[in-house]
Amino acid sequence: MANEVRQTMTHFWEEHSRDATVEEMMLDSSAALLSKEEKPEIISLLPCLVGLTVLELGAGIGRYTGHLAKLASHVTAVDFMQNFIEKNRDDNGYRGNITFLQADVTLLDLPNGTFDFIFSNWLFMYLTDEELAALIQKMLGWLRPGGYLFFRESCFFQSGDCERTFNPTLYRTPAQYNHLLTSVTSKSGHNGFEIVMSKSVQTYIKIKKNQNQVCWMLQKVPREANGHQGYTTFQQFLDNQQYSRKGILRYEKIFGDGFVSTGGLETTKEFIAMLNLVPGQRVIDVGCGIGGGDFYMAKTYGVDVLGMDLSSNMVEIAMERAVMEKIPQVQFEIGDATRRIFPDASFDVVYSRDTILHINDKGALFRKFYSWLKPGGKLLITDYCCGERPWSTVFEEYVKQRGYVLYTPEEYGQFLQKVGFVRVQALDRTEQFVQVLKKELVRTQEIKQEFLESFSEEDYNYIIEGWKEKLHRCSLGDQRWGLFLAEKPLDIIS
């Protein structure tokens, strides 16, 4: 069956590569416009390539080859079709640091540890699950430790106006790509892929109202000996434990539409007002959840917001809501803030609600936030904190079970000051947290019947008991809640 598909695909591309044009390669009559708009967008998502060794799979006629070669020390450009490779060589061969290779990627054999970066654009959708799994395993080997894989695919259905007739069943959903990547990583020995970023290509949303063009950035990292409480990656842990889709919607029922953190819209309004946002500013929301705060900021203050969350379930729901909200200033991505790369001074505000409790090295993360902010930019964080040690046994067990890394509000503020932030306010808002919890507990009890129409008695009891346990831990002085505000200095001596 795979051989039949491959033969059909070969005949298809032989027909659609005769002139080696961008319209043929993209299978879209609007290709020139799309390419002009999307190319800088895709390039902006890539890590620094200066001096790196790059493998480009599915290089086509070289839309990206020239840019990669301009920065990298060497590029190996691979494509299935000879006509495309010849066109690429004609346009980019003068650079002298490109090896052009006509090959079927399923048969490609390259030395391990050869490349720092692998780039693929519209290739994986042409491979069966078995072929793609095998290729992912090979790419893990080809990459050096810490190397990156970037790929972009059409998900759900085709993106152009020319039907790819050879195997339409290969249009996977983003979840299916994530599953394949996770499956390979779980069997990959000492190294695996961790997600850095996944998001829709905005050009296709803007021009074609198509959210199904999706790109991923992954990093090759050592696998932890025991994983994340039995899961291969931290993202798997989040999506299967605390932030399952059912669990997220259960929280939303209590916190209000669009919210999964303490106080919902009420605390969101209070804290965002402290930022003095003005139209046109750029905000990044780290741990955006399902986007309620992002839609509020965009609608109320006219700012542009990038919502980032490591939980694919969170972002999936946020993107569903974005379709209904129709607010183009808000974008969402699956992203790991500890690995995500942005140019310096990309944002006016970094905003994060009850998320950083999962992060081990908070100082390293705050240094990223500092670099992402423009001079004079503002930071606002709320987060779970702790009281002075020793803790009670019940709190020790709670922190271990959740995988949290907690500090006192004072220690949290010191991390921010050490990074270079000024006007740091480290506020213990535990009393406010307690009052909000009590209100949410009462509200949950009042809407019990309505809650049970969508969820089970077990879900209801989980929420009620969870809130009571939080209140108990706060009464012991172990669990605290902090509000942190800081600014990046206007005058920075480099």
Per-domain boundaries in the chain: 2-223, 235-487
Q: Which residues pair with 215 in a beta bridge?
A: 152, 199
State how far the Cα of 271 lies from the Cα of 293, in Å rounded to an integer. Answer: 10
Classify domain 2-223 by CATH number. 3.40.50.150
Phi-psi region of 157 (alpha: psi -120 to 50; beta: other; left: phi over 0): beta
Q: Confirm whether 2-223 and 235-487 share one CATH topology.
A: yes
d(CA 247, CA 268): 21
d(CA 314, CA 249): 10
Select from 335, 375, 376 the least CA-distant residue to 352: 335
The strand pair at 115-121 and 143-154 is best described as parallel
Q: Write the DSSP symbol of residue 122.
A: S
The residues pairing with 254 across neighbouring beta strands, listed in sequence order, are none
Give the per-residue pLDDT at 8.
62
Cα(394)–Cα(471) distance, rounded to whole angstroms? 13
Residues 374-393 pLDDT 10s: 999 999 999 999 999 999 99
pLDDT of amino acid 494: 47
Q: What is the pLDDT of residue 212?
A: 82
How do strand 98-102 and strand 191-200 relate by DSSP bridges?
A: unpaired
Below-50 pLDDT ranges, the chain: 1, 161-166, 168-169, 226, 494
| Cα–Cα dist 49/40, whole Å | 15
| Amino acid symbol at 146 | G
Q: Are strands 330-335 and 191-200 parallel, antiparallel or unpaired?
A: antiparallel
Contacts of 125 (CB under 8 A, 6+ apart): 153, 154, 170, 171, 172
What CATH code is assigned to 235-487?
Answer: 3.40.50.150
List the beta bridge partners of residue 211: none
* pLDDT in the model for residue 164: 47
Residues paired with residue 485 on neighbouring β-strands, in sequence order: 380, 425
